[in-house]
Structure 1
Amino acid sequence: MAVQPGDPAPDFTLQDTHGTPVHLADVLADGPVLVVFYPFAFSGICTGELCELRDNIEEFETAGVRLLAVSTDPVFTLKAWQQQEGFGFDLLSDFWPHGDVARAYGVLDEQNGHALRGTFLIDADGVVRWAVVNPRGQRRDLEAYRAALAEI
């Protein structure tokens, strides 16, 4: 079962596309965080979703929310994808131990070894304020993000 609003967000440390560790607790010290799990870099729906976030990043920045996008892809794959698409937010690798963070959030597809489309808005105190997990093949809705941001 996925982490729910009101639950404490599981803490984690994952590498970004430069191999630099990103620790959730450290990021939360600067304010709320939106953690966006997605199945695979370079895949159609994931590319469309993250490009939509890239194109609307100023809405998150204006709300004081930092975006962390997480998949089970290796760092090198994420780096190539970030360079190709020009993502200005962190792509984090949950590659090894494989899917541990996605599992902690309840969004690891154990059978296929990738994250589901789970999204978690975490306040500066480390509490999940909004969460949604979309079924396989269903994109997330930008309007839902906007509604969640309005609640912070």
Structure 2
Amino acid sequence: MTGTTEGATAPDFTLSDQYGQDTTLSELRGRPVLLVFYPLAFSGVCSGELADLSARHTEFTGLGATVLAVSVDSVFALRTWSDRESFPFALLSDFWPHGAVADAYGVFDDRRGTARRGTFLIDARGRVRWTVATPVSEPRDTGEYLRGLRSLTENP
């Protein structure tokens, strides 16, 4: 994965969530953010990953983190998926300009037109403190996210 690296300032963005409300990354400063890019709503691996994030959401919020999940899906598709799955975190639409935020983070797949599986842990000052990329066919380990977040909150 090339693009945003550990220690760099996280590229700022404003994206609409599944309810059409704007979320601006820089407005979340003061607390850590777990930024999870995934290829597509309703797909098998993505559904499993986000279900795991949902099941462990209170662990993330208990450590003060905001969880944001980003794909190139439309707001309408994200709303339908979120309503079906009851996700407790924002699903952000990087629909237009298509994949621009994923591209800024170095996780846009030009060939497929989707985000790759890229995860970024951003500290309270807006710096990327940890990142991982996973092949599109493999689910990520949310336990790894929690370990990174605990390390961040213990060593700000």
The TM-score, its normalising length taken from structure 2, stands at: 0.94
Q: How does 1:1-150 map to 2 (within 5 A)?
A: 1-29=2-30, 31-150=31-150
Q: Secondary structure at the match of 1:92?
A: strand
Q: CA deviation at 1:19?
A: 1.0
Question: Helix, strand or coil for the counterpart of 1:84?
Answer: helix
Cα distance in 2 for residues equivalent to 1:120 and 1:24: 12
What SS does structure 1 have at the residue aligned with 2:106? coil
Q: How many Å separate the matches in 2 of 1:98 and 1:22?
A: 17
Report the AA paired with residue 47 of structure 1. Answer: S
- Per-residue deviation, residues 97-144 of structure 1 (Å, max 9, x unmatched): 000000000000011100000000001111001100111201101221
What is the rounded CA distance, in whole Å, between the counterparts of 1:56 and 1:96 in structure 2? 30
- Looking at structure 1, the residues matched to 126 and 20 of structure 2 have their Cα atoms a distance apart, in angstroms, of 24
Unaligned stretches of 5+ residues in structure 1: none
Distance 2:121 2:73 in 1: 22
Q: What is the aligned residue count?
A: 151
The answer (yes or no) to whether the contact 2:39–2:136 under 8 Å persists in 1 is no
Between the aligned partners of 1:12 and 1:101, the Cα distance in structure 2 is 7
- State the distance in 2 between where 1:2 and 1:56 align: 28
What 5-or-longer segments of structure 2 have no aligned partner?
Answer: none
Is the partner of 1:46 in helix, strand or coil?
A: helix
Give the fraction of aligned pairs with identical amino acids, expressed as a percent: 51
Amino acid at match of 2:6: P
Cα distance in 2 for partners of 1:132, 1:8 equals 16
Q: How many Å apart are 1:28 and its aligned residue?
A: 2.0
